[in-house]
């Protein structure tokens, strides 16, 4: 009878919120080492309590309310720690749009583990909704007002929370810990609408374009455009595990053949926009020559126009433009994005013989062999080709099939480290073999290969922390760590001249370099993103860093900025304006290059 009185008491949301709050926070701390600050808990609990009462008063049945409350609080108070453990930051509004892609890539129990709670949540919300009594209407009106405030007047939420609690855009883990799951979700949801990318007006876009181009020096070249084949290979999660200096590997994680090639390039590195995921953002940069500056997948919602990216530019020069990726074609909205950047042909999973599967990932050697077969006629013809390959093998948790037995052991206590070392050994050797075959068929071709991001090596950067390469908390990274966090191997081979020694190159500057190697001297959108001659600028979510020619590294997080950071921040703002005009706007800035 006592339990029944509690269940049907108007105090039930207080009890359920307290129980679930304590339960989930304990799991978060114990399992994922993520603890909300104790001083932040009262306000966060109160915000969650308000939500609980809204849900309670709109519910038909008490038991369904409890299930819904458990699911929603589980999503907030466990979903955030899980993402922090894997990627270093909590759930953000853009993750809603990435959810579709995540469901597409999951299989077996992992798919059902994610899909069932989401289906249950949606179904129960609809089934349990009630709007018959006065308190139902009051709760509905309050929920509606809150929603409209988030969408139309987000600053009414963002400003007081930023003022009284504080925020660090570059350190979302710290924001989550100091705000709590409910407050963080509320404020970042409002901030999403406050800072949403919008198409700039014509005058603003043209001013930004003019200012960017005025900073560039005219390149004087007398060589004519030379239509050579271009091959670009994205190597999934490819990185040099030898950077884990405290791990002793039985065998080098990079094959001798690959290391020899990479050494000839002085171990050049790409400075990429992402860590451990969101491959499509690295693709966007290497194809379109613009940096990704925010925590959003550009292919998903920020690439609405047909744009003169590298594939379109080469197609205008009579190139055949093809892309190969043995995944489902709609993942990361690639089927639309590839068309908009200029690819004429997209070979996806259905176009390949899946004869070398490592769980669900087609092995690189099979992919390379099949791509070479598909493009062989074009290589033998007079028509030049842009051949872009996105490898699939190399995804976490680094499965191997029987044809790739593990060859490497290590002393690492992190399971993913040894598994990754074996995977990257095969990836490096299979790429070296492919490169040899490709150069035999196309000795004058321009060949680019790069890692799209560093691999996931255990929760809270465990594999990296073990060797002191990174710390477990992104907020504690040193300046050098921020650079290491996004540095992957890069190879650019200029035909018979061999590998170029490009040093540290932001990935968004690769397309312009390719055009220079082809002596394509016309103005392109890549001219907008040329950085000041003495500076490398790498934007990341919430911060950016500058590397000067003298080797000085400046991490630009928040005001007060150094003069170098002020200059690069101004450049980034101009780039964002032109980018929004080109990719989601009316493309008025094309008048400067067309």
Residue 139 is predicted with a pLDDT of 66
Q: From CA 397, how far away is CA 105, in angstroms rounded?
A: 13
Tokens of 593: 């290059």
Among 248, 259, 289, 229, which Cα is nearest to 510's? Answer: 289
Domain-wise residue ranges, the chain: 2-194, 227-520
| pLDDT tens profile 119-167 | 766 666 666 666 556 555 676 677 778 888 888 898 999 999 988 888 8
551-565 as b/e: b if 16+ CB within 10 A:
eeebbbbeeeeeebb
Residue 144 is predicted with a pLDDT of 78
Low-confidence ranges of the chain (pLDDT < 70): 1-9, 99-115, 120-137, 139-140, 217-222
Q: From CA 257, how far away is CA 254, in angstroms rounded?
A: 8
| pLDDT tens profile 349-360 | 999 999 999 988
DSSP 3-state assignment of 508?
Answer: helix
Residue 85 is predicted with a pLDDT of 86
231-256 as b/e: b if 16+ CB within 10 A:
bbbbbbbbbbbeebeebebeebbbbe
Q: Is 134 exposed, middle or buried (0-12, 13-18, 19+ CB in 10 A)?
A: exposed
Asked if 212 and 589 count as a contact pair (C-beta separation under 8 A), the reply is no
Among 199, 184, 170, 198, which Cα is nearest to 93's? Answer: 184
State the DSSP string of 209-268.
Answer: HHHHHHTSPPP---PPP----EEEEEETT---GGG-TT--BSS-SS-HHHHHHHHHTTS-
| pLDDT tens profile 260-313 | 999 999 999 999 999 988 899 999 999 999 999 988 889 888 899 999 999 999
In angstroms, the Cα distances linking 339 to 126, 317, 334, 544 are: 38, 17, 8, 30
Domain 227-520 has CATH 3.40.720.10: yes
Asked if 412 and 466 count as a contact pair (C-beta separation under 8 A), the reply is yes
Residue 132 is predicted with a pLDDT of 57
Phi and psi based region of residue 166 (left: phi greater than 0; alpha: psi -120 to 50; beta: remaining): left
Calculate ∠ Cα 359-363-364, nearest 5°: 155
Asked if 230 and 495 count as a contact pair (C-beta separation under 8 A), the reply is no
Per DSSP, 402 falls in state: T
Calculate ∠ Cα 558-560-563, nearest 5°: 105
Task: Compute the half-sphere exposure of residue 170: CA atoms within 13 Å on the CB side of its CA.
Answer: 15
Radius of gyration, CA atoms only, the chain:
26
Q: From CA 260, how far away is CA 267, in angstroms rounded?
A: 10
State the DSSP string of 509-548.
Answer: GHHHHHHHHTT--S--GGGGGPPPTTEEEEEETTEEEEEE
Q: From CA 462, how far away is CA 100, in angstroms rounded?
A: 28
Q: From CA 466, how far away is CA 472, in angstroms rounded?
A: 9
């Amino acid at each position: 009878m006592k339990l029944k009185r509690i269940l049907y008491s108007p105090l039930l949301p207080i009890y359920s919120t307290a129980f679930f709050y304590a339960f989930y926070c304990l799991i978060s701390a114990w399992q994922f080492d993520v603890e909300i600050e104790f001083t932040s808990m009262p306000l966060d609990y109160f915000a969650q309590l308000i939500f609980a009462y809204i849900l309670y008063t709109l519910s038909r049945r008490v038991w369904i309310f409890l299930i819904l409350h458990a699911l929603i609080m589980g999503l907030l108070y466990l979903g955030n720690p899980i993402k922090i453990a894997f990627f270093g930051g909590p759930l953000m509004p853009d993750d809603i749009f990435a959810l579709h892609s995540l469901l597409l890539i999951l299989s077996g129990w992992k798919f059902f583990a994610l899909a069932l709670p989401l289906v249950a949540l949606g179904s129960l919300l609809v089934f349990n909704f009630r709007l018959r009594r006065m308190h139902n209407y009051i709760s509905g009106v309050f929920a509606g007002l809150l929603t409209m405030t988030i969408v139309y007047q987000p600053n009414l939420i963002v400003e007081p929370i930023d003022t009284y609690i504080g925020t660090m855009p570059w350190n979302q883990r710290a924001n989550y810990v100091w705000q709590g799951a409910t407050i963080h979700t509320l404020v970042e949801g409002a901030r999403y609408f406050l800072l949403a990318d919008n198409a700039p007006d014509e005058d603003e876009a043209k001013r930004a374009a003019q200012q960017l181009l005025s900073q560039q020096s005219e390149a004087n070249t007398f060589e004519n455009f030379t239509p050579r084949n271009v091959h670009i290979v994205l190597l999934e999660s490819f990185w040099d595990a030898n950077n884990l200096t405290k791990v002793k590997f039985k065998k080098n994680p990079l094959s001798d053949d690959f290391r020899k090639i990479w050494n000839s390039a002085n171990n050049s590195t790409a400075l990429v926009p992402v860590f451990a995921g969101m491959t499509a953002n690295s693709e966007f940069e290497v194809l379109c020559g613009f940096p990704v500056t925010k925590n959003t997948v550009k292919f998903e919602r920020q690439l609405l126009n047909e744009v003169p990216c590298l594939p379109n530019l080469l197609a205008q020069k009579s190139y055949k433009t093809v892309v190969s990726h043995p995944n489902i074609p709609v993942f990361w909205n690639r089927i639309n994005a590839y068309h908009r950047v200029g690819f004429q042909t997209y070979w996806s999973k259905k176009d390949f013989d899946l004869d070398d599967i490592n769980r669900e990932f087609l092995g690189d050697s099979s992919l390379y062999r099949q791509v070479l077969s598909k493009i062989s006629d074009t290589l033998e013809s007079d028509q030049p080709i842009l051949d872009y390959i996105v490898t699939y093998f190399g995804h976490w948790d680094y499965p191997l099939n029987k044809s790739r037995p593990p060859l490497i052991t290590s002393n690492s206590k992190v399971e993913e480290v040894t598994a990754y070392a074996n995977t990257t050994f095969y990836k490096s050797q299979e790429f070296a073999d492919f490169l040899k075959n490709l150069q035999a068929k196309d000795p004058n071709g321009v060949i680019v290969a790069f890692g799209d991001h560093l691999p996931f090596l255990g929760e809270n950067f465990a594999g990296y922390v073990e060797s002191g390469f990174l710390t477990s908390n992104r907020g504690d990274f040193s300046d050098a760590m921020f650079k290491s966090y996004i540095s992957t191997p890069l190879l650019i081979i200029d035909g018979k001249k061999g590998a170029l020694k490009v040093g540290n190159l932001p990935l968004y500057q690769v397309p312009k370099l390719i055009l220079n190697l082809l002596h394509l001297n016309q103005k392109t959108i890549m001219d907008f993103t040329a950085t000041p001659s003495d500076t490398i600028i790498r934007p990341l979510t919430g911060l950016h860093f500058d590397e000067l020619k003298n080797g000085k590294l400046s991490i630009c997080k928040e005001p007060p900025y150094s003069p170098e950071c002020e200059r690069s921040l101004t450049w980034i703002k101009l780039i964002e304006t032109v980018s929004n005009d080109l990719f989601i706007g009316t493309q008025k800035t094309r008048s400067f290059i067309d």
